[in-house]
Amino acid sequence: MKKEIINQLLQQLISDKDLEKNLRLRKKTFINKSILNKNIDEYNNLIKDGWELDKKFKNSKRLKKEKEKVVLFKDKVWCLFASLGFQTMNIDSEFKLNYSKNDENLSKKIDVFAKDDETILLIICKSSIEKNKESSFENELNEIKNIIGGLRTTINHLYPNQKLKFKFILATEDYSISENDKKLLNNINGIHFDDEIIKYYSDMQKQIGYSSRYQLLGSLFSGQEIPEINNQIPAIKGKMGGKTYFSFSIEPEKLLKIGYVLHRNKANINMMPTYQRIIQRSRLKSVHEFIDKKKGYFPNSIIISINSEKDLKFDRANTQVKNSISDVGILHLPKKYRSAFIIDGQHRLYGYANSEYKSKNSIPVVAFVNLEREEQVKLFMQINENQKAVSKNLRTTLNADLLWTSENYLEQHKALRSRISITLGENRNSALFDKISIGEDRRTITQEAFDKSLNQSNFLGKVTKNKVESLGTIYDGNLDNTFDHLSSFLRLTFNYIKDSIPEVWNSDNCIILINKGIYAFIKLQDDIINMLIDNKSLSKENCSNTYFEKTKTYLDTAINFIKNIDEETSESLRKAYGTGGYLKYWRTLQIAVRDSHEEFTPDGLDDYIKKEAKEFNSKSFTLIGDIELSFKRNFKEILQEEFGENWFKKGVPHQTAKKANDLAFEKNQKIENIEDEVDNWDCLTLIAYRSIALNNWKIFEYKYADPKEKKNASKNNKTKWMVKLEEIRNQISHQYSVTEEDYYFLEELHDRLGLTQ
């Protein structure tokens, strides 16, 4: 092939910064066009043609127009492979690849050309306006069959010194692939990517980034040789549960190449049963940072099943341990993609995917041989049922020791806050003795509440990972001094409160001995000390006894407020849930102190009073909207995961489904444009989700059971909160005022469901 043609083709391919720029443009759902202000006729014609005004400039206007469906789909697929880490791609959809030796003008238009260090992918994209249209790509696939050899020859000319794997992909949107097209694809060793498969890799890419490429390669080249991999490793062969297994240590990079995770998703439906949830970005990120930044490691083994058509080759060593039932030797792993299924440890393994240590470290592995898929599922369930996650309180407790000598100031402060709460909870001279959850012991106050109050105070100043930005009212740069000073000051504070109002302190429902109460009093003491230091009544050099004595006058006011609090106010503070509940309790104490001491004017109090004077309806409406949207998404995902394609029919109770269908029919009768029509899932009421949850309680209990109810409570009691949610929703609809109690119920629910505000 002429160098001129090769150069022309290479010029149509982009990488590095050009690829990143193109990726940003293709991610947009619209295209832009600029036009000079003086070209009025052209502007009017474009507006008639569907363009919209986007932005005005001094001498021109920028217009925008939604991309056509087929263009959107091509860009979506292009962006997917660019995001998966393919370093070289076509610059636009006009890219054509030559395929004829005799006529170098003959070429085939390729929608997506994607290349990495090992792979070339040629992708043709087809999108249908009609939903689920049966495909008929016989002519195009036959054409590909005739020219695919020529296309590969051209690729070899483009990259003459690289041994690249090759795959043709037919990507479709809203098509039902016909049996004939499946056969034609199979004849050219091509693969079909439908909507579900594209969504699967898109979702996984959003979660784990480039790492998801390993899963893609395992799917595309399953069973194909990986010639460059060194597959010989020292191993121990043994028996466990009647199964042969090998125990060995391997570089993560090798296992990533041959490994595959059986995610529960429609993309893997032909490999059922599958059992793994998709990898979570947050967990993967923490694992990666633990490995790279903290040089951490995981001593527990990755559990896999090696998929080998023949018996694995194991060279038994000449030297063995006498009387041992295990053998030592060299194991020859399969040099093939998707030859090892990851049963347990996917996050630990994929945490190495982008790590500098993926070829420098080794990880322990226990590898069973040719486990049936059902056996893999059972093993997966046994592992997850018998493992108990480390609780938040235990992690916080361990941090007090693990992070104390860290060189990271943020970690030092985390350890300091943990140690203070532990000391107050374990010291018998402390009023908070046996009142704080430490380790696995559960009490009414969590270490998290202490951590939150101290972290948000000025006691400890401000630090970053590498430096102290500012000293605090107590923190002087020395952990030991600060610990002694602050823990003593807080012990004096809470001992004084206990001694001042013993009848309140010792009551069964003490309003102080809850997370919000501890937070509020610590924050109040912080406010008082800030004021005293600002007006020169206190010096940072004073000892903890002096600090405490100076605050007593103001603290007495807050104590008297609690002593004389009426039942309605007490219940209001107790039931103020979520972040707003902490804030309300703290601000209430501030108001009580300021009423008696006009010099006490903490920052933000006046703004808070004005803000809280407004109605709760607007905030409540937003919270309910978030909750309703989360129901719509999560309930559907859970049902689809459990029942597959027939999720609505199998998962939604008959009467609930009938009401939704009837409502959808009524709404659609009034809608002229078919594209604007709603489906039955769009027409569920809030209370309908309760019916769905009750009807499928086993799969919804873990997420939607009220944690305040007893474990043995009925499912009706565990979902009463949904009834209350519906009642509040109806009140807002009828423009009734939402009570403060109902607002805090919504805020707590919003936080509990993991929704951000």
| pLDDT of the residue at 390 | 44
| pLDDT of the residue at 740 | 73
- The pairing of beta strand 340-344 with beta strand 243-250: unpaired
Strand partners, 340: 259, 306
- Tell me the CA distances in angstroms from 365 to 254, 286, 297, 301, 549, one per residue in order: 12, 21, 14, 5, 60
| pLDDT of the residue at 268 | 55
CA-nearest of 557, 556, 518, 552 to 532 is: 552
Count of CA atoms in the C-beta half-sphere (13 A) of 415: 18
Min mean pLDDT across 147-156, 475-484, 534-543, 613-622 is at 613-622
Q: Which residue has the tokens 């000293």?
A: 471
Mean pLDDT across 618-622: 82
The helix (run of H) or strand (run of E) holding residue 118 is none
Q: Where does residue 279 fall: left (phi above 0), alpha (psi -120 to 50 degrees), or beta otherwise?
A: beta
DSSP 521-571: HHHHHHHHHHHHHHTTSS-TTS-HHHHHHHHHHHHHHHHHHHHT--HHHHH
Token pair, residue 521, equals: 């009093």
- The pairing of beta strand 52-56 with beta strand 60-66: antiparallel
Q: Which residue intervals of 613-670 are DSSP H helices?
A: 617-643, 647-651, 654-669
Mean pLDDT across 343-365: 85
Across the beta sheet with 363-369, the strand order is: 259-260, 340-344, 302-306, 363-369, 243-250, 232-240, 327-332, 313-316
Token pair, residue 441, equals: 């012991």
With beta carbons less than 8 A apart as the criterion, state whether 590 and 525 touch. no
For 497-516, how does the pLDDT look when each residue is reduced to its tens digit (9 = 90+)?
A: 999 999 999 998 899 999 99
CA-nearest of 495, 497, 491 to 421 is: 491
Question: Residue 38: is it exposed, middle or buried by C-beta count within 10 angstroms (0-12/13-18/19+)?
Answer: exposed
For 284-311, how does the pLDDT look when each residue is reduced to its tens digit (9 = 90+)?
A: 677 777 888 778 777 889 999 998 867 6
How sure is the predictor about 522, in pLDDT bands with cuts at 50, 70 and 90?
A: very high
Rounded CA-CA distance 701/200 in Å is 26
Token pair, residue 612, equals: 């809280």
Q: Which long-range contacts (CB under 8 A, 24 or more apart) does 346-349 make?
A: 346/261, 346/276, 346/279, 347/279, 347/280, 347/283, 347/284, 347/287, 348/287, 348/298, 348/300, 348/302, 349/252, 349/255, 349/256, 349/259, 349/302
Q: Which residue intervals of 323-408 are DSSP H helices?
A: 346-350, 373-386, 392-402
Mean pLDDT across 651-667: 92
| pLDDT of the residue at 279 | 63
Chain mean position to CA 141: 39
Phi, psi of 481 (to 5 degrees): -60, -45
> Does the pLDDT of residue 667 top 80, yes or no?
yes
With beta carbons less than 8 A apart as the criterion, state whether 93 and 70 touch. no
> Does the pLDDT of residue 101 top 60, yes or no?
yes
Rounded CA-CA distance 645/653 in Å is 16
Token pair, residue 75, equals: 């860009």
Q: Does the domain at residues 3-29+67-193 carry the CATH identifier 3.40.1350.10?
A: yes
Average pLDDT value over all residues in the chain? 87
For 446-470, how does the pLDDT look when each residue is reduced to its tens digit (9 = 90+)?
A: 888 888 999 999 999 999 999 999 9
Task: Give the SS3 label for residue 63.
Answer: strand
For 559-613, how does the pLDDT look when each residue is reduced to its tens digit (9 = 90+)?
A: 999 999 988 888 888 887 777 889 989 999 999 999 999 999 999 888 887 666 4
| pLDDT of the residue at 388 | 47
How sure is the predictor about 348, in pLDDT bands with cuts at 50, 70 and 90?
A: confident
* Secondary structure of 201-255 as H, E, C letters: HHHHHHHHHHHHHHHHHHHHCECCECCCCCCEEEEEEEEECCEEEEEEEECHHHH
| pLDDT of the residue at 599 | 93
Amino acid at position 530, single letter: N
Mean pLDDT across 371-388: 68
Task: Give the SS3 label for residue 175.
Answer: strand
Min mean pLDDT across 126-135, 350-359, 642-651, 733-742 is at 733-742
Kindly report, as residue ranges, where domains of CATH 3.40.1350.10 are found in the chain. Answer: 3-29+67-193
Q: What angle do CA 374, 380, 382 make, to 5 degrees?
A: 105
| pLDDT of the residue at 436 | 86
Rounded CA-CA distance 255/260 in Å is 9
DSSP letter (8 states) at residue 120: E
Phi, psi of 435 (to 5 degrees): -110, -10
> Does the pLDDT of residue 108 top 60, yes or no?
yes
Mean pLDDT across 371-384: 74
Mean pLDDT across 479-505: 94
> Does the pLDDT of residue 312 top 60, yes or no?
yes
Task: Give the SS3 label for residue 437.
Answer: strand
Chain mean position to CA 597: 47
With beta carbons less than 8 A apart as the criterion, state whether 99 and 117 touch. no
Token pair, residue 566, equals: 């009426």
Rounded CA-CA distance 419/559 in Å is 26
Rounded CA-CA distance 425/423 in Å is 5
Rounded CA-CA distance 147/188 in Å is 10
- The pairing of beta strand 340-344 with beta strand 88-90: unpaired
For CA atoms 665, 667, 672, 676, give the dihedral sign: negative
Task: Give the SS3 label for residue 260.
Answer: strand
